[in-house]
A and B are shown apart, each in its own frame.
Chain A
Amino acid sequence: MRCEIDARGLACPQPVVLTKNRMKECNEIEIIVDNETALENIKRLASGSGWSFENTVSGNNFKITIKGSALQTSGAVQDIRTSCSGEGTVVVFSSDKMGRGDDELGAILMKAFVHTLATNDTAPATVIFYNSGVLLTADGSGVTDDIQILHEKGVQLLICGTCVNYFKIGDKIKTGTISNMYDILNTMNTSARLINP
């Protein structure tokens, strides 16, 4: 059976979840999506299920047709979700402490948080540092090795230049991009999810 899905305007992971569900009853599905993340997720779903795919771009939209010989009656939607959970996520470090209350405890918690972020399977797209958050990026913070790991994973690291000057730590920062308010605001504006530990 041939089916069509119009997934324009739907947030990740909706397009891929809808597709996965229709794969139980249709062996040829044409899906229209409006972003590349959705397109890539559907391609991954198709090839992971042994289905073929063909896609075309028309204007701002992507049309992808997937075909399979066997209907997909099993497999968890959960598996698909994980493939898009990190994309568009921005972590904002507005302080070198995690939470408010006791600063000494907050400093310990932040070290544990940054380590967990760096070693987690899902990496954020961007990490922003401002105010005392920039201190995390400086030598001696105890987490510069974790920040290096994030950098190696391809995470964009934006460090507030005004704050670096204020704290006079320019010579202690080895990783990341010294950034400005325009880039910081634009990154926040276009993010799918902001995390502020």
Chain B
Amino acid sequence: MSSGQNFYVVLLPSVSHVMKAEKILIAEHIACKIIPVPKSISSDCGVCIRLEENMVEKTGKILQNSFENIDIRLL
């Protein structure tokens, strides 16, 4: 999409989890973006959090304190 940069998505069990995770990441000044779950990942109606590659490691560490199952995938 932009300048060939790799994006990752954080998949969580429900929209409530996504809302909570977004708040946590914004408070931690992590650049993130809510997008629909890509069709290639799931045909269900859902939202997920998109990250830039350089934020993946930090995000994983932050979110593992609040969530049990975090699935971060390359978009």
Mark A residues whose CB is within 8 Å of B.
104-105, 108-109, 111-112, 115-116, 119, 142, 145
Query: Considering only CB atoms, which chain A residue lies closest to B37 in the complex?
Result: A112
Say whether A111 contacts B34, CB under 8 Å: yes
Say whether A108 contacts B22, CB under 8 Å: yes
Say whether A115 contacts B19, CB under 8 Å: no
B70 within 8 A of A: no
| Option from A104, A116, A119, A145 in Cβ contact (under 8 Å) with B19 | A104
Query: Considering only CB atoms, which chain B residue lies closest to A104 in the complex?
Result: B19
> What is the predominant secondary structure among interface residues of chain B facing chain A?
mixed
| Option from B15, B18, B33 in Cβ contact (under 8 Å) with A115 | B33
Query: CA A163 – CA B12 in complex, angstroms?
Result: 36
- Chain B residues contacting A104 (CB-CB under 8 Å) are 19
Give me 24 A-to-B residue pairs in the complex whose CB atoms sit less than 8 angstroms apart, sorted by A's number. A104-B19, A105-B15, A105-B19, A108-B15, A108-B18, A108-B19, A108-B22, A108-B34, A108-B47, A111-B33, A111-B34, A111-B35, A111-B47, A112-B34, A112-B47, A115-B33, A115-B34, A115-B35, A115-B36, A116-B35, A116-B36, A119-B1, A145-B2, A145-B33
Say whether A142 contacts B18, CB under 8 Å: no
Say whether A112 contacts B22, CB under 8 Å: no
Query: CA A142 – CA B18 in complex, angstroms?
Result: 15
Query: CA A104 – CA B19 in complex, angstroms?
Result: 8
Query: CA A116 – CA B38 in complex, angstroms?
Result: 10
Say whether A112 contacts B19, CB under 8 Å: no
Q: Which of A104, A111, A112, A145 has the most CB of B within 10 A?
A: A112
Query: How close is B29's CB to chain A, nearest CB, in angstroms?
Result: 12
Query: Considering only CB atoms, which chain A residue lies closest to B34 in the complex?
Result: A111
| Option from A112, A142, A145 in Cβ contact (under 8 Å) with B36 | A112
Query: CA A88 – CA B33 in complex, angstroms?
Result: 29
- Chain B residues contacting A112 (CB-CB under 8 Å) are 34-36, 47
Query: How close is A122's CB to chain B, nearest CB, in angstroms?
Result: 16
Query: CA A105 – CA B47 in complex, angstroms?
Result: 11
- Chain B residues contacting A111 (CB-CB under 8 Å) are 33-35, 47
- Chain A residues contacting B33 (CB-CB under 8 Å) are 111, 115, 142, 145
Query: How close is B18's CB to chain A, nearest CB, in angstroms?
Result: 7
Query: How close is B17's CB to chain A, nearest CB, in angstroms?
Result: 11
